[in-house]
Structures are given as structure tokens and as C-alpha cells.
Amino acid sequence: MTDETTPGVEDDAGVETALRAGLEEYDLSPEDVALLESGGPGEAEEGARAPLPVLAVVGRPNVGKSTLVNRILGRREAVVEDVPGVTRDRVTYPASWAGRDFTLVDTGGWEQKVEGMAAQVAEQAEVAVELADAVMFVVDATVGATATDEQVVRLLRRSGRPVVLVANKVDGPRQEADATELWSLGLGEPYPVSALHGRGTGDVLDAAVKLLPAVSAVGGASPVGGPRRVALLGRPNVGKSSMLNKLAGSERVVVHPTAGTTRDPVDELIELGGRTWRFVDTAGIRRRVHLTRGADFYASLRTQAALEKAEVAVVLLDASEPMSEQDVRIVSTVVESGRALVLAYNKWDLTDEERRHYLEREIERELVQTTWAPRVNVSAMTGRHLERLVPALDTALESWDTRVPTGRLNSFLGQVVAAHPHPVRGGKQPRILFGTQASTRPPRFVVFATGFLEAGYRRFLERRLREEFGFTGSPIELSVRVREKRRR
Ligand code: GDP
Ligand code: GDP
């Protein structure tokens, strides 16, 4: 970092002041002004929020879970689906009701739509419930309680999670009596709901959010400034539990029980390179769940839940086997989550020269979007190069925390644009007016411009930003605000 006596800082400040003044001639929204004046939101808060409480929607196939989830998410879900590159197999969504923000876990759309597969329904419910603070249990009131429903009820009781009972498909007064019969499940008051028409959904949501704790007990509060939080991710059998065991070894300092509950320990504090790190959601790694079906569901759910709590993810890949679609999906889930990323190629002891040759080709082909992630080649079995994880984690987190001073950013943008201006399109050439970093964790940049910047040019700017400032191991975002000259 440059200090005040370094030549160049004054120039940067000069550039910033001049460009900032130029912006005054443009039509800025109150939001723009706030962004420009704040110099970005408080860094300490970003990326370190306590995990939101989690509400899981469970029930047999066809009882209306997906319909209910869509209703709860309102228009938001459509927006989510419109974003290209968002994985289809997403299972958690940000939701809010009555001013409460929470995470909604949708188990609909995961099962094969086959009736009567009680064991499978119960398995799926079990994994969802494990990661939830409260549960919405959906029953089809027009069918009544089935044996499968009763099996799920037993599971819910065992879990000790608070439950609201949704008597769905009560489209009108005629089905109210059906709903009443569900008292027999012993879960308390059945809420008559028509997910399809929206009837009763407000009441049941009121009841559900009352059951949610302020901070998720599943994740455990993540204190700001505590040990840095690492998620160990990867598809089944890549070696997550082996690595965890090796890393923890005799150096495991504490196994942290979630405060004030009788739940299983969720995170582990592990000492590496002389410092303590919090490996989040390790219970999910240690307790190997063997599912006959829905293993993908469990993996996705665990990945997302762990990312929510983590600052940096170590994604394990099996160096001895061809990269799979699931590997690539896990990597993109990390990038979308905005967390820092380290790639660890495990089982290096099983690779020979030929395999390593093919591996490099696979990486070039499959992971072009994440060439910025630091990479370590390790063996959880032999312990090979595990000590390289710490510098990789440090680098990634440092990038994730980086703030580029506004003056420096604008000098840089000025030089880049002078050397490579945006191409002229239809006789017009959009100009970049000013740039600022809106946040860290990950670094997000906002650029004000006189016109739309093409995707190719935005990618070029991102590439140059990385060349100039590094950001090894962190995703970065660049958004453009097109602003017009104020009419006088
Ligand atoms: P899931 O398998 O539990 O996710 O169930 P879906 O949400 O896919 O719904 C299964 C079927 O039930 C669909 O045809 C829905 O349109 C229908 N359905 C869902 N909710 C209601 C409701 O409140 N009333 C009626 N009549 N049908 C519903
Ligand atoms: P997880 O499902 O990701 O937790 O994977 P495990 O840690 O259970 O590992 C799956 C299998 O791979 C086990 O049989 C491990 O012994 C084996 N394994 C894990 N890491 C390595 C490694 O670095 N080298 C070799 N040869 N085998 C490994």
C-alpha cells in the first residue's frame, strides 16, 4: 500500500477529484450519491453477518411443497431463475415475511414423483431437518394423514425442531373439516392453507416465523473477528473427512458444541500454521449419511449451508479421476456465493505422469472461469503438501478483504480506458465517468458510464483489474450504472 509521501498518491487524488466533479453534471439517483459519499459500506459488517434462521418445507411428493415455496418467495423466485448460470439444483432461497429475513429450504422437486416411497421421503426430510431451525410440514388435507406422513412425524419429533403443520389444498370452506382431522397427527393446530390460491398462507407464515430464532442455531453465531471460517467442500468420496482428520490430527483444540442446545457439534476449531481456524459444518462431513437416493440433494444442501457460514471455501477435487459435472457445479456454487476459493487437488499420491497431463487439460477446459483461484496438490492420506493450504487460504482471504482506494481505482481506469477505449457502436462510444468500490468480501466495483458497456468490455475491465490488483482467490464483481447528462 502506498503512503501519503509516495509520489502518485497526489495524482490519484487529483484524478479522483476531477472525475468526481465531472459527475456532478450527470443525473444521479439518491442511491448513487449515497454510494459515492459513503465510500462503501462498513467493511466489518460485510461477509460476517450471523447466519439467518433456516426454515425447511418438507412433506410427501405432490402435497404442494413447491407451490407453497413459490408462494412464499413471491416474485423473487422468478428473478432467481432468470439469472443465467444459477444452478438448477438450488435448494435454499433467501426469503422474508413480516420483516423477518430467513433462508427457505425447498425439498420439493427433488423426489422422484412416486407415491408411497416412504423411506425415501423420510430420508430427504431428515437431511433437510438437520440443517433447519424450524420446519413447515405439509400434508395434503384432501388425502388425509398417510403412513408416510406418520413416519415423517416421528422423525420430526425425534429432531426436536419446532414444526408448523400445513393442511394444504384447503381451497374453500368445504375442505376445512379435512384440515381439522389432521389434529390426529399430534403436531398441534393444523393451518388450513391453499398454496395454489394463497388462502391461509399469511397465517401459517406468521406462525412459522414466530418459531424461528433470531440467529440460526444450526449454524451457530459466527463472531466477527473470531477465527476465519472455512468450508471444506467436494463431492462424496473426494476425501473431505480424511482431510479433516489429517488437519485436525492431534492438534484439534476444541470441538464446539452449539451454545445452549443439545445439538451435535457443528463446527470444529482447528489449529493450522499457528493460528486457529473454524471449519464450519463439519458434523455433516463426519456423520456420513448414506442415502439410497437424494445424495445429490444432500450434497447441494450441505454445500449451500456451509457456504452461508463460511468466508472461504476449500473445494476438494479428486486428482486421480476425471473431473465431473458435480465438481464443476460445486465450484460455481462457491463463486456465486461470493466467497473466497481455494482449489485442492486431493489423492495426488494416486496420479502418474499421464494422469497429471490429462488433469491439466481438464482444468483448462472445465475451470476457465476460476483461473484466479489458488491451487494446491495434496494428499489427505499421506499428508503431502497440506501445509500449503494455509498460505493459499491467507492469500484468498486477503484478496477477499481488499479495498482499492477510489483515487487509485480511477487513475487505473483512466489509463486502461485511454489505452483501450470502448468500441464505437452505432456511432456512439460509451465513456467511463467514475469508478468506486462499493464493498469488500468479495470486492464489488461500480462503474458510472455514459452508455451500456458490452459484456466483452466488462470482462476486459475485470481482467485488467485482476492484473493490476491481484484478487487471487476471490471472485470480484463489476457492475455498470449508466447515467445521463442532466438537462439544464
Ligand atoms: P410437491 O411435490 O409437494 O412439491 O407438490 P407440487 O407443489 O408440485 O404440487 C403438486 C400438485 O398439487 C400440483 O398439481 C399443484 O398444482 C397441486 N396443488 C398444490 N397446492 C395446491 C392447493 O392448495 N390446492 C389444490 N387444489 N392443488 C394444489
Ligand atoms: P469424503 O466422502 O469426501 O469425506 O471422502 P473420504 O475422506 O471418506 O475418502 C473417501 C475414500 O478416499 C477413502 O477410502 C479414503 O481413504 C480415500 N482417500 C482420501 N484421501 C485420499 C488420498 O489423498 N489418497 C488416497 N490414495 N486415498 C484417499
Contact 400, 474 (CB under 8 A): yes
Residue type at 103 in one-letter notation: T
Shortest-distance ligand to the CA of residue 298: 2
Beta carbon of 143 within 6 Å of any ligand 1 atom: no
Beta carbon of 67 within 6 Å of any ligand 1 atom: yes
Mutate to test the pocket of ligand 1, among 57, 60, 67 (most ligand atoms within 8 A of CB): 67
Which pLDDT score, from 0 to 100, does residue 206 have? 96
C-alpha cell at 459: 470482462
Which pLDDT score, from 0 to 100, does residue 320 have? 96
Beta carbon of 169 within 6 Å of any ligand 1 atom: yes
Per-residue pLDDT of the chain (488 residues; tens, 9 = 90+): 444 445 566 677 777 877 877 788 888 888 888 788 775 544 444 444 567 888 999 998 889 988 898 899 885 443 334 333 333 345 678 889 999 999 888 776 554 444 446 666 776 777 778 778 999 999 999 999 998 899 899 989 988 899 999 999 999 999 999 999 999 999 999 999 999 999 999 999 999 999 998 877 765 445 556 789 999 999 888 999 899 989 987 444 333 333 333 333 578 888 898 888 989 888 777 765 555 556 667 777 788 888 888 999 999 999 999 999 999 999 999 999 999 999 999 999 999 999 999 999 999 999 988 999 999 999 999 999 999 999 999 999 999 999 998 889 999 999 999 999 999 988 889 989 889 998 899 999 999 999 889 999 999 999 999 999 999 999 999 999 888 877 76
Which pLDDT score, from 0 to 100, does residue 365 have? 93
Q: Which residue has the cell 494446491?
A: 376
Shortest-distance ligand to the CA of residue 112: 1
C-alpha cell at 32: 448513487
**Ligand 1 centre from 61 Cα, in Å?**
9
Beta carbon of 430 within 6 Å of any ligand 1 atom: no
CATH 3.40.50.150 fits 7-41+403-482, yes or no: no
Contact 406, 367 (CB under 8 A): no
In SS3 terms, the chain reads as CCCCCCCCHHHHHHHHHHHHHHHCCECCCHHHHHHHHHCCCCCCCCCCCCCCCEEEEEECCCCCHHHHHHHHHCCHHHHHHHCCCCCCCCCEEEEEECCEEEEEEECCCCCCCCCCCHHHHHHHHHHHHHCCCEEEEEEECCCCCCHHHHHHHHHHHHHCCCEEEEEECCCCHHHHHHHHHHHHHCCCCEEECECCCCECHHHHHHHHHHHCCCCCCCCCCCCCCCCEEEEEECCCCCCHHHHHHHHHHHHEEEEECCCCCCCCCCEEEEEECCEEEEECCCHHHHCCCCCCCCHHHHHHHHHHHHHHHCCEEEEEEECCCCCCHHHHHHHHHHHHHCCEEEEEEECHHHCCHHHHHHHHHHHHHHCHHHCCCCEEECCCCCCCCHHHHHHHHHHHHHHHHCCCCHHHHHHHHHHHHHHCCCCCECCECCCEEEEEEEECCCCEEEEEECCCCCHHHHHHHHHHHHHHHCCCCCCCEEEEEECCECCC
Which pLDDT score, from 0 to 100, does residue 111 have? 46
**Ligand 1 atom 12 nearest Cα:** 64
Task: Give the domain ranges of the chain.
Answer: 7-41+403-482, 54-211, 228-399
Which pLDDT score, from 0 to 100, does residue 477 have? 93
**Ligand 2 centre from 295 Cα, in Å?**
17
**Rounded to an integer, what distance in angstroms lies between the CA atom of residue 156 and that of residue 459?**
48
**Ligand 2 centre from 380 Cα, in Å?**
7
**Ligand 2 centre from 242 Cα, in Å?**
6
**Ligand 2 centre from 383 Cα, in Å?**
12
**Is there a shared CATH topology between the 7-41+403-482 domain and the 54-211 domain?**
no
Beta carbon of 196 within 6 Å of any ligand 1 atom: yes
Contact 450, 413 (CB under 8 A): no
Which pLDDT score, from 0 to 100, does residue 119 have? 66
**Rounded to an integer, what distance in angstroms lies between the CA atom of residue 214 and that of residue 100?**
9
Ligand 2 atom closest to 235 (CA) = 3
Question: Could you tell me which residues come within 8 angstroms of residue 291 by beta carbon, excluding any fewer than 6 positions away?
Answer: 123, 127, 298
Measure the N-to-C terminal CA separation of the chain; round to a whole number of Å. 42
Q: Indicate the SS3 state at residue 268.
A: strand
Ligand 1 atom closest to 67 (CA) = 7
Q: Which tens digit of pLDDT belongs to each residue from 218-271?
A: 654 455 567 899 999 998 889 998 999 899 874 443 333 333 333 335 788 888
**Ligand 1 atom 17 nearest Cα:** 64
- pTM (2 d.p.): 0.70
**Ligand 1 atom 6 nearest Cα:** 64
Ligand 2 atom closest to 348 (CA) = 23
**Rounded to an integer, what distance in angstroms lies between the CA atom of residue 9 and that of residue 3?**
8
**Ligand 2 atom 20 nearest Cα:** 239
Q: Indicate the SS3 state at residue 117.
A: coil
List the Cα angle 183/127/122 in 5-degree steps: 50
H helices within 197-238, ranges in order? 201-211
Ligand 1 atom closest to 199 (CA) = 23
Q: Which CATH superfamily is domain 54-211 in?
A: P-loop containing nucleotide triphosphate hydrolases (3.40.50.300)
Give the count of beta carbons closer than 10 Å to the beta carbon of residue 199: 15
Residues with CB under 6 A from ligand 2: 234, 236-242, 285, 346-347, 349-350, 379-381
CATH 3.40.50.300 fits 228-399, yes or no: yes
Cα–Cα distances in Å, from 50 out to 37, 55, 151, 462? 27, 16, 33, 30
C-alpha cell at 411: 487513475
Shortest-distance ligand to the CA of residue 240: 2
256 pairs with which residues across the strands? Answer: 267
Beta carbon of 337 within 6 Å of any ligand 1 atom: no
**Ligand 2 atom 22 nearest Cα:** 347
Beta carbon of 70 within 6 Å of any ligand 1 atom: no
276 pairs with which residues across the strands? Answer: 271
